[in-house]
């Protein structure tokens, strides 16, 4: 494992669902090829040189010290902290990242701050013993393992990812699924309803189209496709009493 240090950890964000975020790792072993927006940005600003460099995560070794300094100053301002926008807090089989993420969530919860967690790895069972105000989420865009191998090569297998989420739901945690970037049929042929049925237990679904990929615009009828998908997701959520959010730009 490689390490870096940083000067600050908690950042204000304009994101729709969390007012603060933290990114305690540079890079992400999952190596998504949609492409990954975080990788494109880090490459553009010279923090990462190559795809291989991106896939070799570097932990911010002073994460916990920074949180100890920043939490007392910010705790009355923060509603919730999102982990993470530019990396994955529970990188599949990367134990040091997982341990640092759990320790960070524990510290935030101890100060009365809830966390909004999103991963393509496996949500650890330890989250069951942390604040029930945390929102535990996975990204899920397919059930096709060949597609996963092609597009999110080092992430956790889909069914294992869902099982870890379901366990947390069963012990009373809030759960959610981010279905973004959802692929068009020229990338993978699949039935949206079959995927939705696997996650019918969650509290919330966020659905969004794929961006920054020329295969999408090459697919004739992509606008109608995403309009139909969004309608299906909304109907499914209404049927199951779940919250639903369609990302801006998905419906036209
Ligand atoms: S899991 Fe997220 S941060 Fe990691 S490579 Fe994939 S899209 Fe990028």
**139 alpha carbon – ligand 1 mean position (Å):** 10
- Asked if residue 59 belongs to a domain, the reply is yes
Which pLDDT value is given to residue 144? Answer: 98
**247 alpha carbon – ligand 1 mean position (Å):** 18
Which pLDDT value is given to residue 194? Answer: 98
The CA R_g of the chain, rounded to the nearest whole Å, is 18
- Asked if residue 205 belongs to a domain, the reply is yes
Average pLDDT, the chain: 96
Question: Within 6 Å (CB) of ligand 1, which residues are found?
Answer: 28, 30-32, 36, 38-39, 87-88, 120
Which pLDDT value is given to residue 118? Answer: 98
46-79 per-position pLDDT tens digit:
999 999 999 999 999 999 999 999 999 999 999 9
Q: Is pLDDT of 218 > 90?
A: no
Domain of 34, in residue numbers: 2-246
Best of 88, 97, 161 to mutate for ligand 1, by most ligand atoms within 8 A of CB?
88
Instruction: State the total domains in the chain.
Output: 1
- Asked if residue 114 belongs to a domain, the reply is yes
Is-contact 180 220, C-beta < 8 A? no
- Asked if residue 197 belongs to a domain, the reply is yes
- Asked if residue 251 belongs to a domain, the reply is no
Single out the residue of 134, 91, 89 nearest to residue 110, CA to CA. 134
- Asked if residue 204 belongs to a domain, the reply is yes
Which pLDDT value is given to residue 223? Answer: 94
Locate the ligand 1 atom nearest the alpha carbon of residue 87 and give its number.
Answer: 3
How far, in Å, are 87, 142, 235, 248, 252 from residue 224 at the CA level? 32, 19, 16, 15, 8
Q: Is pLDDT of 213 > 90?
A: no
Look up residue 247 and give its DSSP letter: P
Task: Report the C-alpha gap between 127 and 148 in whole angstroms.
Answer: 25
19-36 per-position pLDDT tens digit:
999 999 999 999 999 889
Judged on CB neighbours under 10 Å (0-12, 13-18, 19+), 12 is exposed
Best of 30, 152, 154, 156 to mutate for ligand 1, by most ligand atoms within 8 A of CB?
30
Residue carrying the six token digits 């540079």: 26
pLDDT band at 196 (very low <50, low <70, confident <90, very high): very high
- Asked if residue 84 belongs to a domain, the reply is yes
CATH code, domain with 159? 3.20.20.70
Look up residue 241 and give its DSSP letter: T
Which pLDDT value is given to residue 192? Answer: 98
Max CA separation in the chain (angstroms):
53
What's the whole-number mean pLDDT along residues 154-166? Answer: 98
How far, in Å, are 49, 123, 188 from residue 203 at the CA level? 39, 16, 27
Which pLDDT value is given to residue 212? Answer: 76
Which pLDDT value is given to residue 17? Answer: 73
pLDDT band at 209 (very low <50, low <70, confident <90, very high): very high
- Asked if residue 252 belongs to a domain, the reply is no
């Amino acid at each position: 494992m490689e390490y870096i240090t940083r000067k600050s950890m908690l950042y204000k964000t304009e994101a729709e669902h969390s007012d603060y975020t933290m990114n305690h790792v540079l890079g992400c072993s999952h190596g998504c090829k949609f492409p990954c927006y975080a990788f494109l940005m880090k490459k553009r600003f010279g923090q990462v040189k190559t795809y291989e460099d991106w896939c070799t995560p570097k932990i911010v070794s002073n994460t916990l010290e920074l949180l100890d300094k920043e939490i007392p100053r910010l705790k009355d301002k923060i509603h919730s902290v999102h982990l993470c926008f530019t990396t994955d807090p529970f990188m599949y089989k990367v134990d040091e990242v997982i341990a640092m993420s759990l320790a960070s969530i524990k510290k935030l919860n101890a100060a009365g701050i809830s966390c909004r967690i999103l991963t393509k790895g496996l949500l650890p069972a330890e989250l069951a013993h942390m604040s029930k105000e945390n929102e535990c989420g996975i990204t899920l865009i397919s059930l096709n393992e060949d597609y996963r191998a092609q597009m999110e090569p080092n992430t956790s297998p889909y069914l294992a990812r869902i099982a870890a989420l379901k366990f947390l739901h069963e012990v009373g945690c809030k759960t959610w699924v981010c279905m973004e970037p959802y692929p068009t049929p020229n990338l993978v042929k699949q039935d949206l309803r079959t995927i939705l049925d696997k996650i019918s237990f969650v509290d919330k679904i966020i659905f969004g189209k794929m961006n920054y990929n020329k295969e999408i615009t090459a697919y004739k009828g992509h606008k109608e496709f995403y309009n139909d998908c969004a309608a299906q997701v909304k109907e499914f959520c209404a049927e199951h009493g779940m919250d639903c959010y369609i990302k801006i730009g998905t419906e036209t």
